[in-house]
Amino acid sequence: MAGTALLRRLNWLTGSVVKLVRENAQTRTIGLQVPGWPGHRAGQHVDIRLTAEDGYQAERSYSIASAPGSVYLELTVERISDGEVSPYLVEDLREGDQLELRGPVGGDFVWEESLGGPLLLIAGGSGIVPLGSMLRHHRAMHSRVPVRLLYSMRSPDSFIYGDEIMRFATSDEIDVSLTYTRSAPAGWNGYHRRLDDMMLADVSWAPADKPLTFICGPTVFVETAASLLVTAGHAPERIHTERFGGTGGAR
């Protein structure tokens, strides 16, 4: 943040879509080239604005997926079936299209290498997106901060960044635990249930390790995870949370 002006208007910028990656049936990653982009920190988000031909505008927030300093700004968007913005971004947007965005915003749900750890990252569904940016930042910095990731998803077909997360799991610093809340892959012998106190006790750091924790997902998921950690003796001020609302998410 050094050198960043304290007061800065969030002006609208225009990004060009340079890359589109299908993550799963509901989710797509959008790579953007954004002239004038001021840079971001892992965990922040942007607002996207769509304008209809009649002038009607809709604005929504999306978490940034890419690491700070990466070539393109990447957003991963999950389609909300009755959404005004996400169906367009996930189904209709094409390479070469322009998108209006502004940001980045967010100052609390942010991790950078200098904040240290150990890190505990807990994702529910598409809550993996800002945590993905943190993991990519961790890799880009060759960080030695130990990380434990717990990623809860409905089923294998809702996995986001599957291959990349399994590659992260091969590093010495990053432990990955998955839980499937509905259907698990054939032969799966890992967690196959909703997050609970036993699971958290297995995968999280001991309170004495004073982990820095980031939890992102649907509101109920986030509040369950945070209150279980506090009950287990973790310091509330070390737990950072970001809620999507609902059960699927506005983001």
Binding positions for other proteins, rule: CB under 8 A? 1-4, 6-10, 45, 47, 59, 61, 102-103, 105-110, 218-220, 240-246, 250
Minimum CB–partner distance for residue 128 and other proteins (Å): 16
Which CB, 3 or 187, lies closer to other proteins?
3
Which CB, 122 or 178, lies closer to other proteins?
122
Which single residue is written with the structure tokens 């945590």?
131
Minimum CB–partner distance for residue 7 and other proteins (Å): 5
Which CB, 141 or 220, lies closer to other proteins?
220
Minimum CB–partner distance for residue 185 and other proteins (Å): 30
End-to-end CA distance of the chain: 26
Which CB, 107 or 190, lies closer to other proteins?
107
Alpha-carbon distance of 118 to 14, in angstroms, equals 37
What phi and psi, each to the nearest 5 degrees, are found at residue 166? Answer: -70, -30
Which CB, 27 or 241, lies closer to other proteins?
241
Alpha-carbon distance of 106 to 46, in angstroms, equals 9
Q: At 208, list the tokens.
A: 């004495």
The closest alpha carbon to 33, from 66, 65, 63, 73, belongs to 73
Q: At 169, list the tokens.
A: 């799991």
CB atoms within 10 A of CB 29: 21
Minimum CB–partner distance for residue 1 and other proteins (Å): 6
User: What SS3 class is residue 223?
Assistant: helix
Minimum CB–partner distance for residue 137 and other proteins (Å): 16
DSSP string, 91-118: II--TT-EEEEEEEE-SSS---GGG---
Minimum CB–partner distance for residue 238 and other proteins (Å): 11
Q: Strand 212-217 vs strand 239-243: parallel, antiparallel, or unpaired?
A: parallel
Which CB, 104 or 174, lies closer to other proteins?
104
